[in-house]
Structure 1
């Protein structure tokens, strides 16, 4: 392990992790084998897209290009069907009352 001030790495790659005030920068990829919890409101990607829940109850996907698209892809090669289902608490309560 190689620690040089706020930079952590190893002999073959000395700048894997850089620490600053309220910020950790990883030079490379991160793999999580468990859950990821985001306590802030936004996830920003390097190409300008963001995922945000800045308004309680809303989920916002944004892109900074004029011809951007929302693509939902099912990676299951046996059926390949994807769907978006919009459900509200009121709808769930009404369906429950009907039974």
Structure 2
């Protein structure tokens, strides 16, 4: 999924989770290609609308691509429903792509 260049709205990818029950901690695994990861802001949104800031943009953060796993404390969050990953590229000159992402409930 392409991430548009210099667009605050960015792109939103969705993932339906059928698992019932509440979350304590979850792990978000990301694979995003981008020539300058400092351009990116990444937010995970729960089915109830709660927002979890995963990464804020930073002009001083050099390096390409954003790959790894982030643990998120989300007490009493309902697991079931549509989770959304919003990725925005907030600076000019280059764009990227969401290659893959997944949630693991712990």
TM over 0.5: no
Larger radius of gyration: 1
- TM-score, normalized by length of structure 2? 0.21
- Which structure has the highest strand share of the two? 2
- TM-score, normalized by length of structure 1? 0.22
